Amino acid sequence: MKPEIESIDLKDIADLYAIEKSVSQSPWTLEMFIASFHAGHGMFVAKSEDKIVGFLIIMDVMEQLEILNIATHPDFHKQGIASQLLSFLKNYAKQREINSMFLEVRKSNQAAIALYQKFEFEQIGIRKKYYKTDSGQEDALMMQFSF
Ligand SMILES: CC(C)(COP(=O)(O)OP(=O)(O)OC[C@H]1O[C@@H](n2cnc3c(N)ncnc32)[C@H](O)[C@@H]1OP(=O)(O)O)[C@@H](O)C(=O)NCCC(=O)NCCS
């Protein structure tokens, strides 16, 4: 599938929140999405036949960029949507002369880790007990891509 990648409108936020709730272990709240929009974070959607099938949220400061959130609608997993979003992001970052991109991911999130490794992100550290789980806490892997 080759979705269109677009910047979001405020009216898209409910769709992002619906995707987030359906795929994330500790979902952002609707208020977090709205705050992110008003903070001026980069918010992009992947659209197929006018339907939002995935999203990407980033923050760039000077020559560094952080991936704050990325998700694909559960009906569209493993169809290359997140890959399209990250390919878009690499071009976006190059155009802005970004040197490196960072993210944090749950150690147990094998799908996301495999996605980031496919895009040549490398593990640069661990934040111990960074995320909550149903039964306790879980480490975060810190990953980086350098141009
Ligand atoms: C992680 C996520 C965004 C991947 O989205 P997607 O659109 O299905 O990903 P793609 O189809 O582009 O897959 C790209 C690569 O990711 C990896 N991948 C994706 N899903 C995977 C899975 N279930 N298991 C293992 N690897 C997986 C593979 O390396 C895949 O490459 P391949 O197709 O050549 O094998 C999606 O599973 C999701 O929304 N997860 C919940 C939200 C989340 O965890 N976000 C990350 C927060 S840090």
| Ligand 1 pocket residue status of 24, Cβ below 6 Å | yes
Distance 105 CA to ligand 1 centre (A): 12
Ligand 1 atom nearest residue 118's Cα: 29
4-146, CATH topology level? Aminopeptidase (3.40.630)
Distance 40 CA to ligand 1 centre (A): 26
17: annotated active-site residue: no
What does the DSSP assignment read for 34-79?
Answer: HHHHHTT-EEEEEEETTEEEEEEEEEEETTEEEEEEEEE-GGGTTS
Q: What is the per-residue pLDDT for 39?
A: 96
Q: Give, as one character, the DSSP assignment of residue 10.
A: G
Among 121, 142, 122, 138, CA closest to 130: 138
The active-site residue out of 6, 66, 92, 104 is 104
Distance 101 CA to ligand 1 centre (A): 18
Q: What SS3 state is found at 141?
A: strand
Q: What is the per-residue pLDDT for 134?
A: 86
Q: What is the per-residue pLDDT for 1?
A: 76
116: annotated active-site residue: yes
pTM assigned to the model: 0.97
| Ligand 1 pocket residue status of 117, Cβ below 6 Å | no
Running along the chain, 147 residues long, what does each successive block of 10 average in pLDDT?
Answer: 91 97 95 96 96 97 96 97 98 96 97 98 97 93 97
Ligand 1 atom nearest residue 106's Cα: 48
Give the other-Cβ count within 10 Å of 110's Cβ.
Answer: 10
**Residue 121: which H helix or E strand, with range?**
none
